[in-house]
Amino acid sequence: MPIKFLCIALFLMLSVSSFVRAGNHSEVTLVSTELMSGLLEQTDQGVEGVYPDFFAQAADKADVRLNYRIVPWSRAVLETEKSSDYLLFPLTRTTEREQRFNWLAKLWEVPICFLTVTRPINSYEEAKKLEGIMVWRGSSHQQRLKELGFTNLVPFDDPRLVEGVLAKRTNAAWYTPCNEGLSLCESFNLKHDIIIGEAVDNETVWLAGGNHYLTTEEKQRFIKAVSELAPEGTLRRRILMESKQ
């Protein structure tokens, strides 16, 4: 009898353990940082913006629940790279990152520009002559300009620093997606007009998992839904519309 009860107890423990492990994967966790131009903002009510709206549509289609983790970008990249669960967005696909991440769903192609408060900067050659080029710290933009030989980079984490740096350093620019400049003035009530140069590059941004990424049924359904919705242009149209408001 004791052996029988022991077997039953062991069976129940394994069943409960399996249920708990499965429960840990019942949500899809998306990782990012706060993004400008109405793309992603963390509020007391949760997350708001174009990306959360788009992913909510995909989650409804896939019948999964979403959980967001919003941290500084460099931390988001590092945590995702080491995690088996996190899905990071919007991550630019580069040669340096190719083997470090699992590229799960292409989101959209982003034009990149130099933003200034003085005159348009329309080429990398012009930008190299400036006093400073602002870039998101730890971003693909910082890596890209380093590869091109830029030595005048000014990495930053807080978007509220943009106006101060550009206003004080009139011979400076911000290297970033062109659409961010379209709503920058409205977002922070800037005193200076933002001048957007011609697109000097394009980058493709993805939803990605780290090198230790483990798939689940929920993740597979969600990624499939994202992959089906993104080519329809839903995300791209929303981003461009939000930027022009």
Neighbouring C-beta atoms of residue 139, cutoff 10 Å = 19
In the chain, ranges of CATH 3.40.190.10 domains: 25-109+204-244, 111-202
The token pair that represents 227 in the structure block = 């992959």
State pLDDT tens for residues 44-78: 889 999 999 999 999 999 999 999 999 999 899 99
Q: What is the pTM of this model?
A: 0.71
The domain 25-109+204-244 having CATH identifier 3.40.190.10: the answer here is yes
Length reported for the chain: 245
CA distance 89 to 41: 14
User: For residue 22, which phi and psi values (nearest 5 degrees)?
Assistant: -65, -40
Homologous superfamily (CATH) of 111-202 is Periplasmic binding protein-like II (3.40.190.10)
CA distance 210 to 99: 9
What's the pLDDT score for residue 190?
Answer: 57
The answer, yes or no, to whether residue 81 has pLDDT greater than 70, is: yes
State pLDDT tens for residues 136-163: 888 889 999 999 999 999 998 877 777 6
Looking at mean pLDDT, say which of 29-43, 119-133, 192-206 comes out highest.
119-133
Give the relative orientation of helices 234-244 and 50-62 as an angle to the nearest 10 degrees.
160
- Tell me which of 178 and 185 has the higher pLDDT: 178
Residue 232: exposure state from Cβ atoms within 10 A (0-12, 13-18, ≥19) = exposed
